[in-house]
Structure 1
Amino acid sequence: MLFVDRKYPAEPYPGARPGCSFVHRDGAGYPLSTARPRWRTELTPVLAYGSNACPEKITWLRRTMGLTGAVVVARARCHGMAAVWAAGFRERDGARPATLAAAPGVEEWHAVWFATPDQLAVLDRCEGRGTRYDLVRLREGAVRLEDGSPVEGALAYVGAAAERMPLLVDGEMVRMAVVPQRRARLLTGVPAASHGLRVEPVSRSACPG
């Protein structure tokens, strides 16, 4: 075992995340070597740039939204994109959520869920696919795992509704890596017209399972 959930609490949003890849099950993280065989090729890679990389949030998904099975969460280095603060707030706690945007020249560490079809369906419900966020395939930037291997065709949730588009403050997006949640709640601005990423929409019929 690498850790237990309480080491990485979900509050304040987006929660804490370990600086390593892990397999999550039973309220704890285990080494990536315990993942199911062929996880890189048989599971769907979904970029986790907000709270979905937080172990306690994963347990919340199990408890609240019916998530089942071991979850493979691989640490990944992302180029040309950034997690930024969204224009709106979460209804359940008033936190300002994350959204993804183009960021030329920027490098950030995030994570990739390698999800089963059932797990992807849970993420769809959690993210409000088709209302708050859209599920897309990234067609620019680069996502690489810790060992340097590329993640081809990674999916990501990007803003669909105005309140989940990037917040513009004086015309600039605000990176989560620069401004913490306690300050982000106080920001004022307007929703961006676009996230700026080159993406391909993912139809529900195109999803595995």
Structure 2
Amino acid sequence: MDDVTDRSLRALGLAEAPREHPLLYPGAWPADSGLLDGECFLPLDRLVHDDRTPVLAIGSNACPGQLRHKMREFGIMSPIPMVKARVAGVDAGVSAHVSRMGYVSASPVSAPDTVRELFVIWLDDEQLTVIDASEGAPVPGGNFDRAWLPAPDVRIDLADGTRLPGAYAYVNRHGVLHDGTGVPRTHPGEREILTELLVGLPRFRELFGVVPEEFCERARADRRLCERGTRLFIEEKLVTASGLERYVAGDARAQHKGSPGTGPSLSPPLM
């Protein structure tokens, strides 16, 4: 078996996309940095790519299968460097919205005392436009704003000793779910969060069923049902701020006209 076959997404367990299998969210992440190139995850020759835009992946954007799925939707097959980083100041919270992809996604939250391993994906202009569209960032009704998280507020250290000056992240416009005390909670995994919500919220259960599989089946592509679920989070007083809202530009859409690299907006697919 040659090296290319050895490093196929399928062989590495990285091929499945949560957009097709919602209960797998956030999907499988690579063990280390690499280059997503078609059906393969190849070694990288460098960790910093100054000609690209760094985006901190909090949820499924760190899953090669999900990235490939998003890019293919727009016919884009160009490689994406994915760099493992040690990140301080940010954690993965729970989005206060129900996605039409059939899951409750992760959203970044301010966590000054937290240090964890996340991925930085380095996107060219075309790829960045696709990811922006997938997060709803260019449109008023979208779920996320793309915001620059600067050092030293957020510290991003790479394996070669480089500390990035910052990176973009997608901040949820709906806020995030809290832990009962008003503090943003962390995302425990899709099956776990759905089970908790379905068991603990009778009105949520009325909308989406009694088990996670039923939630996924009902939520997928049903915009009105997802909107009702999102409103329910507010009505149940489960929503709080992520703590990252201060990094979102006054006119969030303006960032898509500036540097680094943003191409023309695409119509967003289901979010």
Counterpart of 2:35, as a letter, is V
Q: Tell me if the contact between 1:86 and 1:191 (Cα under 8 Å) persists in the aligned partners.
A: no
CA deviation after TM superposition for structure 1 residue 200, in Å: 4.8
SS at match of 1:20: coil
The runs of 5 or more residues in structure 2 that have no matched partner are 19-23, 202-232, 263-271
Partner of 1:136: 147
Amino acid at match of 2:148: R
Separation (CA, whole Å) in 2 of partners of 1:200 and 1:169: 24
1:109 to 94, 113, 117: 117
Equivalent AA in structure 1 for residue 132 of structure 2: D
> Is residue 174 from structure 1 mapped to residue 174 from structure 2 by the alignment?
no
For residue 172 of structure 1, what is the amino acid of its counterpart? V
**99-108 vs 194-203, which deviates more?**
194-203
Unaligned runs of 5+ in 1: none
Residues 97/173 of structure 1: CA separation in 2 closer, same or farther (3 Å cut): same
**Equivalent residues of 2:34, 2:83 under 8 A apart:** yes
Q: C-alpha displacement at 1:82, in angstroms?
A: 0.3
Separation in 1, partners of 2:76, 2:193: 29
Q: Secondary structure at the match of 1:136?
A: strand
**What pairs with 1:191-206 in structure 2 (closer than 5 Å)?**
191-192=239-240, 194-197=241-244, 198-201=246-249, 203-206=255-258
Structure having the higher helix fraction is 2
Amino-acid identity (%): 28
TM-score of the aligned structures, taking structure 1 as reference length? 0.87
Q: Which amino acid aligns with 1:196?
A: G
| RMSD of equivalent CA atoms | 2.0
How far does residue 74 in structure 1 lie from its aligned partner after superposition?
0.6
Do 1:138 and 1:200's aligned partners in 2 also have CA atoms closer than 8 Å? Answer: no
**TM-score normalized by the length of structure 2:** 0.68
Q: Is the 8 A contact 1:76 1:111 kept in 2?
A: yes
* Distance in 2 of aligned mates of 1:104 and 1:29: 32
> Which structure has the bigger radius of gyration?
2
Deviations 1:10-65 (A, max 9, x none): 341100111200101121100012x7xx9521111111111011111122113223
How far did residue 68 of structure 1 move? 3.1
Instruction: For residue 191 of structure 1, report the CA deviation from its aligned partner.
Output: 1.5
Q: What CA distance in whole angstroms lies between the structure 2 residues aligned with 1:61 and 1:119?
A: 9
**Aligned amino acid, residue 183 of structure 1:** E
Post-superposition Cα deviations, 1:67-89, rounded to whole Å, max 9, x if no partner, equal 33110111111101101111222
Q: How many correspondences in the alignment?
A: 199
User: Which secondary structure state, in structure 1, belongs to the residue aligned with residue 165 of structure 2?
Assistant: coil
Tell me if 1:20 matches 2:32.
Answer: yes
Where is the strand percentage greater, Structure 1 or Structure 2? Answer: 1
